[in-house]
Structure 1
Amino acid sequence: MKKYIICLSVAMIFTSLSGCKKFLDVESITALSGNKFWSTQADVESFTNNLYAQLWAKFSSAPFISSTGELRSGEILPSVDGNYNSNNTTSRVVYRSFGINDLKTVLVSGRAWTNLNFASITRWLEFYQVIQGSNIMYDKVDRGIPGMSDIDTKRYKAEAVFIRCFTYFYMVRLFGDVAYYTDAYHSDPIGRENFVSVLNKCIAELAASRNDLPWKYEDAAFNGFRANKGAAIDLLMNMNMWNAGFDQANKQNYYATTQLLGQEIVTSNAYSLVPLSRLPTVMEGGTEEGLFAFKQGVDFGTPNKNAFPGEILVAYPQKGNTAANGTYSNAYFRSSYINKIYNLDEDDRLASWFVNPTANDGIFSMKKFAGSLSSTGFPDWAIVMFRYADAVLLRAEAAAELGMDQEAVDMLNLVRDRAGATLFEIGSAENLKDAIFRERQREFIGEGYSFFDLVRTRKITDGNWTSNPLTLAQFNEGAWTWPIDASALTRNPFMTLNSYWL
């Protein structure tokens, strides 16, 4: 299986996306093959760009972010308005299955929603192609590229580590235990490793190399779309906080590491929160708040519009050239959820980000994802993975867990002040830790954070925090994971699938 992955990896790595911004422009395989390849820095740059292109292809193969990080929280329902396109209603009704964690129904082929390609989420081969490519890149650059400076050599190696660790992190959140390796041209079959161990290895290697990444690139087109020090720090914070939820014996160490990382990124002044009115531009990527995103607007080729997190939650005029083809959103948040997380009198996000927020039907829409409409009638979205507000609130969460209440409140209030919300005060009737979690629900609504936050804090088992609670037994059995496609077993006697879904 690993030899099969290597062959596919090499083929996929050289598959470029055309017409995109210049940092995704790559040479063809014929120009990169033979003696020329790995002989210049331009070769390394092209290989690096194609690793991002592979990840983009995976995340755009389905409604990936909304399906994995939002729909499973149980707070989103499909629109079934009488004036809504009947074919779309039929296909989108599957969102109800996400809401009750019925992924087996989601994955049934031959149904109206098959074209949404949810099965792609269960296949991890493409992720391993990226990991294999990252391992090869690190090895080749480490051996030396003629004419490349020491600074650039370290930066490309750090970028390979970031891409590898990011990919492992996303796989862990989807599947739990995964097969872990970092050697180039790996060919021996191996089994799955405990995911806490995998993330600890990723934490160690990324911590050792992240200072070789820049805070900002000289070429502004790279900022927010290529690995940088802020993105590496936020990834480290996320990996530490994920492990804190599952490795209880060492959780204080994870919190302490996260707090220090958060302090570093905040005091760097390299990033900032944009004014609330500009938040839709953050969804397009490349702003001073963006840390890492995949950018491929619909004017740059023909990406799958369903892949963008906001697509299911917006209606005309936030998407669609005319009211006729975008009158209703495909889904909406439960009004009970909106009322629970937002104080209607003290949070500017409600008016700034929503149209008919408590409608409980398809006239609901999220201006948060409005963006600049392209010629096809869809906003020029990016797939945003990390933004600065995430680092700020993770620092707040870690500080609160460490009893550093004033620091936690200061970080919480950075986000609340931007939102025009009443500032939190120590001694408030609301528990500080709960207030920080609720702030994450408000701030990142629709962006794909919700389910993962519920899982890592185990609030997914508490009906006070979700309309779709798992029992503790279900949680421990792995009900929070995704099924793994049976192709993972091919020619690998050591591989197993997620038993909960068998």
Structure 2
Amino acid sequence: MSKYIYITFITILGFSGCKNYLNVEPEVNQNGANYFKTKDQFIKAVNGAYAPLQDLFNGQFWEMGEMRSDNTSYQLNNQDNSGTLRQEIDEFREINLSDEVRSFFQSNYTGIGRCNVILTRLPKAVLNDIKATDMISGQASFLRAYYYFNLVRMFGDVPLVLEEVTSKDQAIKINQRKPAADLYTVIIADASLAIDKLPEVYADSLKGRAAKGAARILLADVFLTLHKYDLAVQQLRPLLTSVYRLNSNYADNFDTKKKNGPESIFEIQYMEGPNSLNSILADRFVPWDSPDGLITGFPIDHDAGNGWNIPTQDFLDAYEPGDLRRAVSVGEDYISDATGKMVPYVKKYTSPHAVRAISGNNFPVYRYSNVLLMLAECLNELGNSGEAVQYLNQVRTRAGLPQFSNTNSSDVRKAILQERRMEFAFENQRWFDLLRTGTAVAVMTAHAVKERQIKSYLSQGTYNNIRLLYQYPQREINLQ
């Protein structure tokens, strides 16, 4: 793992050194005027463009991409209900003043801003290293495409900023929202450029960076979202003969000793230790009233910081008998003293670590199993259900499940969506799957009925408006 992948770029414009009051422009001072000159400086800038991903996946992404769906909810905390903003996202009650939604919006644009600086400054620099230049521009293009893909799926029309912003007037001018179609055009162009520029693989010391396979699957995901199945297939097929493959053991995908393994195409990098580069999800997803040390090995706060992204009964009931992924994904060994009932919790991001709430579990964004199931979905929609089932069954076999033999396209479609639900549980895929397949309203309406039956404490208005897009942050509206 490259140490650089963890370095946070201090500001969009550059680094600031220590100030020497005896020198008006000290040589050690690095700023927007004298930075972005060398390969090393650009590499550090690219590392900074990755940095917002760590905050996104530690925080708002699982709230808005997983807990929004029928997969997870929250454990009611009668002692500390200060986490109501997260509850509102789960229950479709959040408003456009939501801090969680605003933070998601801003974090993605922070990443975009850093990519824009790199892509604006790189053509003006003379690095004399074509390979390094391609790697830098490819990573920045990939990241900008991914950040915009997050935004357009969550909000629809958003501002489209493709250059470095250097003034307040410029910032105000580019704050107007653009049609989603315009954003997708840029996303496709950026991902395509990344495919051309990025290497197939990196040396072990550089693993964690986006390679060509990451750009291919991102572009395939975009085409799948747009229902351009034939174009998605063109990007997915080369990955079948690439360096990626399924791990024989599903659990290896989440083992901190096997990070960035053969199934990993792109994952968010975390480092254990008190370095602000760690994952906090083990604590977030533990039942808030569980005894200290029972699940994570350490005391927990027993407050609004715990008890989130709790698997729903709806989700647990969806498992087929014998599914080997269940024991890896879900903990079902805790009985609440308060209710006398089992409270499930997410296990994927729980691993031994030395300090409380500071673990090193990476977060998977794209795995090779996603290639197989995306390809199966595309082929089925293109009328080739027979071949689609072959890829579906590769994933089912690894999970210990019997082969799916029905080739009726409608049944295959349902089977693929179901398989994606279990394979990518708690990996922030479910809400996007429901959106893409046009099933979000129907699925969440049925889910709401089940939730109301078992949760007498739900607030009035819960699930009354199954919105497909999040409300545009009020702060951004005020700036227009």
User: Distance in 1 between the 2:470 and 2:282 partners?
Assistant: 18
User: Distance in 2 between the 1:350 and 1:357 partners?
Assistant: 13
Give the corresponding residue for 2:20.
none
Give the corresponding residue for 1:389.
369
User: Distance in 2 between the 1:393 and 1:215 partners?
Assistant: 22
Give the corresponding residue for 1:291.
265
* Post-superposition offset of 1:162: 0.7
User: Distance in 2 between the 1:358 and 1:457 partners?
Assistant: 35
Give the corresponding residue for 1:202.
187
TM-aligned CA distance change 1:96 to 1:179, over 3 Å = closer
Q: 1:467 aligns with which of 447, 463, 469?
A: 447
* Post-superposition offset of 1:156: 1.2
Once the two structures are superposed, what CA deviation does each residue of 1:198-217 show, in whole Å capped at 9, x if it has no partner?
11331133213413211221
* Post-superposition offset of 1:137: 0.9
User: Distance in 2 between the 1:300 and 1:347 partners?
Assistant: 36
Q: 2:431 aligns with which of 451, 455, 480?
A: 451
Give the corresponding residue for 1:435.
415
User: Distance in 2 between the 1:261 and 1:65 partners?
Assistant: 26
Give the corresponding residue for 1:110.
none
Give the corresponding residue for 2:470.
482
Retained in 1: the 8 A contact 2:373–2:391? yes
Q: 1:349 aligns with which of 325, 330, 339?
A: 325
Q: 2:396 aligns with which of 416, 437, 443?
A: 416
Is the aligned partner of 1:374 residue 2:351?
Answer: no
Retained in 1: the 8 A contact 2:334–2:342? no
User: Distance in 2 between the 1:119 and 1:283 partners?
Assistant: 33
Is the aligned partner of 1:69 residue 2:65?
Answer: yes
TM-aligned CA distance change 1:359 to 1:447, over 3 Å = farther
Give the corresponding residue for 1:45.
43
Amino acid at match of 1:196: A
User: Distance in 2 between the 1:385 and 1:359 partners?
Assistant: 32
* Post-superposition offset of 1:349: 1.5
TM-aligned CA distance change 1:333 to 1:357, over 3 Å = farther
Amino acid at match of 1:97: E
Alignment of 1:109-120 (within 5 A): 118-120=100-102
Once the two structures are superposed, what CA deviation does each residue of 1:446-490 show, in whole Å capped at 9, x if it has no partner?
121111111121101214885149xxxxx9x99222222222235
Percent of pairs identical after alignment? 20
Retained in 2: the 8 A contact 1:175–1:482? yes
Amino acid at match of 2:332: N
Once the two structures are superposed, what CA deviation does each residue of 1:257-284 show, in whole Å capped at 9, x if it has no partner?
1112111112113343351232322798
Alignment of 1:66-465 (within 5 A): 66-80=62-76, 87-88=79-80, 90-92=81-83, 96-104=87-95, 107=98, 118-121=100-103, 124-147=105-128, 149-185=129-165, 187=170, 188-189=173-174, 191-218=176-203, 220-223=204-207, 225-244=208-227, 254-281=228-255, 285-302=259-276, 308=281, 311-312=284-285, 317-321=294-298, 329-330=307-308, 332-339=310-317, 341-344=318-321, 346-356=322-332, 363-376=343-356, 379-427=359-407, 431-463=411-443
Retained in 2: the 8 A contact 1:347–1:422? no
User: Distance in 2 between the 1:159 and 1:485 partners?
Assistant: 28
Runs of 5+ in structure 1 lacking a partner?
A: 1-19, 108-116, 245-253, 470-474, 493-502
Retained in 2: the 8 A contact 1:350–1:357? no
SS where residue 95 of structure 2 aligns? helix
Once the two structures are superposed, what CA deviation does each residue of 1:367-401 show, in whole Å capped at 9, x if it has no partner?
33323323225542233322222222111111111
* Post-superposition offset of 1:155: 1.8
User: Distance in 2 between the 1:467 and 1:429 partners?
Assistant: 25
TM-score of the pair, normalised by structure 2:
0.79
Retained in 1: the 8 A contact 2:223–2:229? yes
**What RMSD in Å do the two structures reach over aligned CA positions?**
3.5
Retained in 2: the 8 A contact 1:51–1:134? yes
Amino acid at match of 2:211: N
User: Distance in 2 between the 1:33 and 1:139 partners?
Assistant: 15
Once the two structures are superposed, what CA deviation does each residue of 1:403-422 show, in whole Å capped at 9, x if it has no partner?
12232112111211111111
Runs of 5+ in structure 2 lacking a partner?
A: 10-14, 18-27, 450-462
User: Distance in 2 between the 1:36 and 1:229 partners?
Assistant: 31
User: Distance in 2 between the 1:52 and 1:23 partners?
Assistant: 7
How many residues align structurally?
Answer: 434
